[in-house]
Amino acid sequence: MDHFLYRDGVLHAEDVTLTEIAAHVGTPFYCYSTATLTRHFRLFQEALAGLDHLVCFAIKSLSNQAVLRTLGDLGAGMDVVSGGEYRRAQAAGVPGERIVFSGVGKTRAEMAYALTHGIRQFNVESAEELRVLSDVASGLGKTAPITLRVNPDVDAKTHEKIATGRKEDKFGVPIARARDVYAEAARLPGIEVVGIDVHIGSQLTDLAPFETAFTKIADLTRELRADGHRIRRLDLGGGLGIPYTRSNETPPLPLDYGAMIRRVLGDLDVEIEIEPGRLIAGNAGILVASVLYLKQGEGRDFLILDAAMNDLIRPAMYGAHHDIVPVLEAQAATDQRPVDIVGPVCETGDTFARQRSLPPLAPGDLVAFRSAGAYGAVMASEYNTRPLIPEVLVHGDQYAVIRARPSFDEILNRDTLPSWLESPTP
């Protein structure tokens, strides 16, 4: 469910028309719904009610500080994968004891910064990283709380580029080697083992792979406790999928996910951490664009928008589907026709959809890409020197620009000329 609904023939974000926002900020822009973010976070809280738990929002899915502050004020922790994301969580007011540091390539500087400013735990990805963290923590006179990310060799049955729990993936320590690495962790100075971490991929639409992975983690928990480790926390990662189409996708509900966690792990007396990103943010955001041209091609028509692959990379990168709808609601009897929906970037890959049926649209009309809140703005670039597009947050009948569109001067002034090019050419 989301809070982007037609009312009186116009698509609204909560109680604000998208036409009003477009008139104010121009297109394209991202728009997020506070009510949807709040509802989705609370679904996870309800799913884990009665269990000692922390819901950590995966910042990599949507990192705007206004969104992080919204979720942090609800009690969310934050899952970060870089020093920059740590600083975003910090700037949004989230305390270190609610920040989990994941990621396969943490640097010494990132480790030191998090240790100095406070951290709930590091999700350590390798024995090599563990040794570096021990050295950094010892040098600072600190103790680093850690979980070891274990690779359970479970195929999440998701897109190749977002599967993370198979033995051939770059993430984690093979489960067969986990006891040896935990034994080393127990011997290293500056390291405190607090639990186990697992994350098998993103956009999962079936609970079976989760259950297989969590069952393996339950067995490992018992083995590690028998080895003398105090395993008191299980970080289960994220990955629960969302319906990108409104017709045939029915991913599991958070309540079903929580029930499965209770069934598999409920007897272990551990604190549960989960790290959802997409399910909280995905349907909480849309991308609004304007039609530039309707171009008649050979055998097909093209709807050319002012949004491009640099603004929303998912269709080009993953072949991802987003429902695309007119902001002004079409009459039920209106004939629809297939068009290729494309952007202005000089690549054939700048295609959002092929032969998608839409009602007749004209230059200046607005369309909305649904389910664009996760991995939309965070993956955007300035390719073709196209400015990053604004982000807008709606709260009831209010809205605010939470990231402005940079001017061309701001973009150009980030470049600097070396001294030998500063003088004009004679």
d(CA 52, CA 248): 35
Structure tokens at 368: 């909305």
Structure tokens at 413: 């002034």
Contact 241, 205 (CB under 8 A): yes
- Residue 141 DSSP code: T
Of 339, 313, 310, give the one whose Cα is nearest residue 324: 339
d(CA 279, CA 274): 12
Type of residue numbered 25: V
Catalytic residue among 226, 346, 362, 421: 346
Q: Establish how many alpha carbons lie within 13 A of residue 62's alpha carbon, considering only the half-sphere containing its beta carbon.
A: 34
| 346 catalytic residue (yes or no) | yes
Give me the residue label for tokens 């509900």.
253
d(CA 236, CA 233): 10
Structure tokens at 340: 């290729």
Structure tokens at 115: 């240790």
Element (H, E) at 278: helix 278-281
Q: Which residues are catalytic?
A: 346
